[in-house]
Structure 1
Amino acid sequence: MAELTVAGLRVVHEVARQGSFSGAATVLGYTQSAVSRQVAATEAAVGTELFERLPRGVRPTAAGEVVVRRAGRVLGEIDGTLEEVAGVRDRFAGRLVVSAFPTAAAVLLPRAIARVRARHPDLRVDLQEAATPLQLRRLRAGRVEVAVVAVGEGLPDQDLDGLRAEPLRIPRGSGVAVGRDHRLADSDVVDVAELAGETWIVGTGAAGEPQFGPWPGLADPHVGHEVRHWATRFGLVAAGLGITLVPGLAADSVPRDVRWLPVRDPAGPPDRSLLAVTAAHPSNAAAALVRAIREDAARMA
């Protein structure tokens, strides 16, 4: 009887991350045929297909999503074990600078930094908050080693040429924040059609650029306020002056007088991704922090 292997789980996990066998082969340093064999062996072990073939690339089946999610946890434990053993043998020391946009800096980075510091107490990790363009400029200038950025729908294109970008999978998608007295506040999930006619509190960046606007696809959404900081947005929502789009990453950070609700949308949530970006050849300390960030992101269900 075929059994699951660490190599097979790693390949399946990477195929899901890259969206193709060829992409996984490039990242892992395998031939495409070797990737295909590992996927086939893993499918034989679980007794079902793990990927649906598309005109361009692949995507996990329902069973594949389960294996990918579990594989991420298993691989995280294995990588963490190897890292911890290496840390005992050769502890990281010195200074590591990481930057992130404010939401990630507040929610995702602290736990990852704490875990890395626990393993490497002689390593000083400095956290900076900055918008994505500034983060990438600092990264290219060598002033930052790890940058956590957001890319995708409604966000400016970013130049990542020559950098290493690690996708961060957050299982929980985007939703909306409503006041406790809002008509939708008692719902467990909101259909996108129920958002029609709502007043939106939208965000702006440091330079006035739009961030987290109305839910995509709504016809003629009404914008009530444009503000920069999340605290102000949540204050306006709590006062009943509108609702606001909140990424799944920030769902646990809403205040008590505001409720976060997932949105059921056939078109899917806003197509955005989080990336942990480093130089093409990151230091061991930077690579360890990226692994910790990736593990914490995967736990946000």
Structure 2
Amino acid sequence: MSDRFVRSHLKMRHLILLVELGRHASIANAAAAARLTQPSASRLISDLEHVLGIQLFERMARGVVPTWAGKMLIRRAGVALAEMDAAHFEISTLLSGIGGRVAIGSVLTPATNILMQAIKLFKARSQKASLVVDFSTSKSMVERLLDGQLDMVLGRILDTSTVPLLNFEPITDEVHHLIVRATHPLVGRANLQLAELVEQSWIVPPAGSILRDRLTALFLSEGLDPPVETVETLSVPLVVSLVTNTDMLVALPKELVQAQLAAGELVALPFDLKLRMDVYGIITRQGHVLSPGAEIMVDALREAAAVELAASRKQRALPAGLRA
């Protein structure tokens, strides 16, 4: 049935119209954007609804609103058009001798070493390819991956409903430590208590991120309100600058500030937050054929992750006094 629907009924103008209907809550505006007449647009929608046997849009006084089935088709239509745009771009760049474009999204911690090493491998093997790197939360990047805006994500799958749509290659988890500057008043203190820490100024990730939720849960589990005095950011350079030059504190994996820890500018307080994040890994779309450049990047990520994991295991095996 699905094969017959795609091959016999679904046309490019259906896809374009669906995408425009997702952008405009009006058949007239969507039709104009798709370069169709309004009657033609209405007929195309009716044809799809007839073939599928389900209502795709609710007709309102001021326009149309997609049903759950309409939203699904709109998203899939956007992915299909994004794939065709990507194919056109690949062909054009290969013909011009450039080498294509690869887009990757990443959460912060892997960027410190795994992503850097993978980029070095990628550029050595695909010198003419263009690489676009974006940083955000796993949730927003997986959404962009499913929409066809990214080729791969180095992050976590947080929404279980998306699992059937994705491939996931796990890498490792993250241990978070409480990081402050070397001259912070709490440095050298023993028996720190969470009630004392909550009174400090904190640097925190945006609301809705997994780390923010778990920090909030940590305080609430001890009968404490979350910190009031906070700076909310995902910018690593800003975090490092703030924690180095003020008495603010932040929960971070040591990998993000390894250079500052080694230089003695920052220290990890002797307080176990008991925060371990879910395993992150390489995420791609199920059933999606990666471009040659994207395949090279995925392979580079696998190699860099394997090296990083081996180094981490070796470090943990050393006596505590010899660890970096």
- Name the TM tier (shorter chain): 0.5 to 0.7
Query: Cα gap change, 1:112/1:263 in structure 2, threshold over 3 Å: closer, same or farther?
Result: farther
Residue from 250, 255, 266 that aligns with 1:259: 266
Question: Which ranges of structure 2 fall in alignment gaps of 5 or more residues?
Answer: 1-98, 316-324
Query: Cα gap change, 1:286/1:127 in structure 2, threshold over 3 Å: closer, same or farther?
Result: same
Whether 2:247 is the aligned partner of 1:244: answer no
Superposition deviation, residue 182 in structure 1: 1.9
Superposition deviation, residue 195 in structure 1: 4.7
Instruction: Give the Cα–Cα distance (whole angstroms) in 2 for the partners of residues 269 and 235 of structure 1.
Output: 23
Partner SS, residue 218 of structure 2: coil
Superposition deviation, residue 278 in structure 1: 0.9
Structure 2 counterpart of 1:287: 298
8 Å Cα contact 1:146/1:286 also seen in 2: no
Residue from 99, 106, 109 that aligns with 1:100: 106
Structure 2 counterpart of 1:222: 227
Structure 2 counterpart of 1:173: 175
Partner SS, residue 118 of structure 2: helix
Instruction: Give the Cα–Cα distance (whole angstroms) in 1 for the partners of residues 183 and 302 of structure 2.
Output: 40
Whether 2:196 is the aligned partner of 1:197: answer yes
Alignment of 1:22-41 (within 5 A): none
**Which residue identity does 1:177 align to in structure 2?**
I
Instruction: Give the Cα–Cα distance (whole angstroms) in 2 for the partners of residues 101 and 212 of structure 1.
Output: 12
Output the aligned Cα RMSD.
3.6
Whichever structure has more strand as a proportion of its residues is 1
Alignment of 1:121-132 (within 5 A): 121-132=127-138
8 Å Cα contact 1:234/1:258 also seen in 2: no
Residue from 157, 162, 178 that aligns with 1:159: 162
Question: Which ranges of structure 1 fall in alignment gaps of 5 or more residues?
Answer: 1-92
Structure 2 counterpart of 1:61: none
8 Å Cα contact 2:203/2:248 also seen in 1: no
Partner SS, residue 241 of structure 1: coil
Superposition deviation, residue 159 in structure 1: 2.8
Of 272-281 and 251-260, the range deviating more from structure 2: 251-260
Structure 1 counterpart of 2:122: 116
Instruction: Give the Cα–Cα distance (whole angstroms) in 1 for the partners of residues 228 and 302 of structure 2.
Output: 39
Task: Tell me the matched-pair count.
Answer: 199
Q: Which runs of 4+ in 1 moved over 6 A?
A: none
8 Å Cα contact 1:168/1:297 also seen in 2: no
Instruction: Give the Cα–Cα distance (whole angstroms) in 2 for the partners of residues 132 and 108 of structure 1.
Output: 17
Instruction: Give the Cα–Cα distance (whole angstroms) in 1 for the partners of residues 237 and 161 of structure 2.
Output: 27
Alignment of 1:137-148 (within 5 A): 137-148=143-154
Query: Cα gap change, 1:287/1:136 in structure 2, threshold over 3 Å: closer, same or farther?
Result: same
Query: Cα gap change, 1:291/1:273 in structure 2, threshold over 3 Å: closer, same or farther?
Result: same
Query: Cα gap change, 1:292/1:196 in structure 2, threshold over 3 Å: closer, same or farther?
Result: farther
Partner SS, residue 148 of structure 2: coil
Structure 2 counterpart of 1:31: none
Query: Cα gap change, 1:112/1:292 in structure 2, threshold over 3 Å: closer, same or farther?
Result: same
Partner SS, residue 140 of structure 2: helix
Superposition deviation, residue 227 in structure 1: 1.8
Superposition deviation, residue 113 in structure 1: 0.9
Query: Cα gap change, 1:96/1:292 in structure 2, threshold over 3 Å: closer, same or farther?
Result: farther
Instruction: Give the Cα–Cα distance (whole angstroms) in 2 for the partners of residues 260 and 211 of structure 1.
Output: 24
With the length of structure 1 as denominator, give the TM-score of the two structures.
0.53
Partner SS, residue 161 of structure 1: helix
With the length of structure 2 as denominator, give the TM-score of the two structures.
0.50
8 Å Cα contact 1:108/1:249 also seen in 2: no
Whichever structure has more helix as a proportion of its residues is 2
**CA shift digits 1:52-92 (9 cap, x unpaired):** xxxxxxxxxxxxxxxxxxxxxxxxxxxxxxxxxxxxxxxxx
Superposition deviation, residue 108 in structure 1: 3.5
